[in-house]
Structure 1
Amino acid sequence: MVNIYILGCGDLGRRVALRYGELGQSVRGVVRSRSSAEQLHAIGVDALVSDLDQPPLPDLSLGGSSLFYFVPPPPSGSVDTRIGNLIDTFAEIGAPRRLVYLSTTGVYGDCGGEWVDEQRQPRPVVPRALRRWDAEQSVRHWSRKSGCQLVVLRVAGFYGPGRLPLQRLREGLPLVCEEEAPFSNRIHIDDLVSVCVAAMTQGRSGELYNVSDGHPTTMTDYFDRIADLAGLRRPPKISLEQAKRQLSPGMLSYLQESRRLCNHKMLKELEIELKYPDLACGLASCFPDF
């Protein structure tokens, strides 16, 4: 009987499902489209098609399950209606025994480049972070009310094979010069998979964990390293003032926040030994022939 569900089973979800397969455990992925379901079937993962934007969800039966929630919030607004729709339907489809919710470190907002652990008070500003913060509060309220177990992962940007900004590099779009670039944080997707699996079995209920490799750098450094490994030209550099006039609002939103994530709690409590503890070895794994 399948008792592990991955809601929002895209690239990360497929990798988590395959990891469970290596452990001899079956997983069911829940996706929005038939084409996504076919991708899961192609790697031997059972799939259901269901849309959290259009409840009810009659095909789901989550009672007593272990549930990973990887569904992104809606693209606009400050409220995550999707997680709200799911919680509202638990009465009909059954509530999971344990839920691992994938959030973002963006909920911390701008921290002025300071080191940030899980005790830091969230101060989200940009809409995408506000939606994540809303979702975190929704699942925490549900967990306290229902008694179901909850673990929240605040995840840094993740990268890996097939998840690199190669097209942006080919387009030659500019970046902020290194001396003005804010700190950013990352984790290799293979290590993120390990963290997700460990959180389901070892994470303390009610706790949250920062998920990163613990070696912050800048977005500029990240792009330059990838360009060097891919044999592409490094992006042209501009000042922060120039960036405000030239870059997209989405890119600018990342440049307005700077923080360095502490991952000690993740390493200790989830007993994680990172395969790729920094960008040097992580990016090298993405270019095996370099």
Structure 2
Amino acid sequence: MADTPGYLLCFGLGYAATRLARGLLRDGWRVLGTARTPSRCEALQDAIPGLAMVPFDGVTPLDPAAFAGVTHVLSSIPPDADGDPVLRQHDHDLATAPLSWIGYFSTTGVYGDSGGGWVDEGTPVRPTQERTRWRVAAEEAWFGLWRDHDAPVHVLRLGGIYGPGRSVFDQIRAGTARRIGRPGHVFSRIHVDDIGLVVAASMHDPDPGAIYNLCDDEPAEPAEVLDYACALMGRPPFPNEPFERVAPTLSPMALSFWADHRRVQNERLWDDLRLRLLYPTFRQGLEAIRREEQGLVPPGPPPRRKPGCHDDP
């Protein structure tokens, strides 16, 4: 993160960005976020002391005054069939504002299906679904700001996000968890607090044009994650349901979750940012969530570690 607190404008204050905003505010930053409706803006301002919010629906641009004093911009708003909503309204502002860092939350889904093989930031993108094709187009548009206007753009490709309030524990309690068995079919994940760790490190040491895969060290089968969560809760594991048997009952969205199979490499987080994740596998991540749920640690992101202060492996 910058040596002195900055001012972040965050388009789309969703789950991960909200957790990030809490940590930045605690560190002395100013944060201005957007949400689609005034009521959602008001709710977030009430919930997070010091946070400022303005409505942004992707159709009406922000008042130009919203960019005054902003040093960093993050967009977590997904694209649609017509492109990226933020760039549609603010490409000129982003290209000309004196910013230190711009981050765009994308997805590791842009790699498509590697048949279970490893992919890294240099792997060509081969999206297999409409929404990931939109993502590839959006990435290209953001990189256009960097190539054409020297804007400090960074693309952050996120794996499956989990954390307090959005984990397998919540699925278990809600009665929606199922142990769908498909041996060898793994997914890459990232704890929400590790997203904040990576964003802070990238802000501290910007590398315009960089791409980072945000995922932990161990891609894993969903059944393995569910089994571990059950053990932490002291309850018996769920019965196995073979994927082939349950596939006809799954929604198109659920089936799309299983359509691609890849293992996502994250070594650039160490090589470029000198980071070690807080939760390098789902086990440490689930254990931390469980401790927070049980009140053994205070809620909210843990204190940030300074980049470059980790021991070599």
Name the TM-score, length of structure 1 as normaliser.
Answer: 0.87
Moved more, 40-49 or 16-25: 40-49
Report the CA distance between 1:60 and its aligned residue: 5.1
1:46-195 correspondence to structure 2 within 5 Å = 46-58=51-63, 61-62=66-67, 65-74=71-80, 77=81, 79-88=82-91, 90=93, 94=97, 96-166=99-169, 168-169=171-172, 170-171=174-175, 174-179=178-183, 182-195=185-198
Report the CA distance between 1:234 and its aligned residue: 3.8
Q: How many residues align?
A: 286
Report the CA distance between 1:130 and its aligned residue: 1.5
Report the CA distance between 1:245 and its aligned residue: 0.5
Contact 2:95 2:149 in 1 (8 A): no
CA RMSD of aligned residues (A): 2.6
SS of 1:184's equivalent? coil
**What is the aligned partner in structure 2 of residue 25 from structure 1?**
29
CA, structure 1 residues 49+112, in 2 after alignment: closer, same or farther (shift >3 Å)? Answer: same
Report the CA distance between 1:175 and its aligned residue: 4.2
Identity of aligned residues (%): 29
CA, structure 1 residues 140+124, in 2 after alignment: closer, same or farther (shift >3 Å)? Answer: same
Moved more, 262-271 or 239-248: 239-248
Report the CA distance between 1:203 and its aligned residue: 3.6
SS of 1:143's equivalent? helix
CA distance in 2 between counterparts of 1:251 and 1:232 reads 26
Report the CA distance between 1:166 and its aligned residue: 4.3
Structure 1 residue runs of 5 or longer lacking an equivalent are none
CA distance in 1 between counterparts of 2:27 and 2:170 reads 35
CA, structure 1 residues 145+81, in 2 after alignment: closer, same or farther (shift >3 Å)? Answer: same
Report the CA distance between 1:97 and its aligned residue: 4.5
Contact 1:2 1:28 in 2 (8 A): no
Name the TM-score, length of structure 2 as normaliser.
Answer: 0.82
Deviations 1:199-245 (A, max 9, x none): 22224110101111111101222223223333555444333332331
**What is the aligned partner in structure 1 of residue 254 from structure 2?**
251
CA distance in 2 between counterparts of 1:241 and 1:142 reads 45
CA distance in 1 between counterparts of 2:15 and 2:45 reads 10
SS of 1:193's equivalent? helix
| One-letter code aligned to 1:37 | C
Structure 2 residue runs of 5 or longer lacking an equivalent are 297-313
Deviations 1:57-111 (A, max 9, x none): 226532663101111334xx4x434133234462899574531111100000011
